[in-house]
Amino acid sequence: AQTVTQSQPEMSVQEAETVTLSCTYDTSESDYYLFWYKQPPSRQMILVIRQEAYKQQNATENRFSVNFQKAAKSFSLKISDSQLGDAAMYFCAYRGGNNAGNMLTFGGGTRLMVKP
């Protein structure tokens, strides 16, 4: 079974600065997808960014980018120019390419605090 590990329970960043959240995963598959979800205090799960394992280029969405290291099974999220609205729980998630139900396996989450 796949596992997803987020080793940082909490992180803190100053507004306008950059922060990186870590995620590692364990799998024997070669084809899969990785996601970062944001969960603000409203509890709504919001997709931040996604990465296909077969793409070598790191995904980027505005201020959010990933550092995908397939050999190391690492998938970190970088948030640039942090804003107060970025404060939330962030979850890393994995979906296998041969997963019949397209189910997600989530990490335990990292709480990001943004200081003004």
Partner 1 sequence: NAGVTQTPKFRILKIGQSMTLQCTQDMNHNYMYWYRQDPGMGLKLIYYSVGAGITDKGEVPNGYNVSRSTTEDFPLRLELAAPSQTSVYFCASSYKAQVDNEQFFGPGTRLTVL
| Residues of the shown chain interacting with partner 1 in the complex, contacts defined by CB under 8 A | 4, 6, 9, 33, 35, 42-45, 47, 50, 52, 91, 95, 100-109
Min dist. Cβ of residue 41 to partner 1 (A): 12
Q: What is the spatial distance between Cα 89 and Cα 2, in angstroms, rounded to a whole number?
A: 21
Min dist. Cβ of residue 100 to partner 1 (A): 7
Min dist. Cβ of residue 77 to partner 1 (A): 15
* Closest to partner 1 by CB, 57 or 102: 102
DSSP structure class, residue 57? S
Q: Could you write out the DSSP letters of every residue in 11-32?
A: EEEETTS-EEE--EEE-S-SSE
Q: What is the spatial distance between Cα 90 and Cα 99, in angstroms, rounded to a whole number?
A: 23
* Closest to partner 1 by CB, 35 or 82: 35
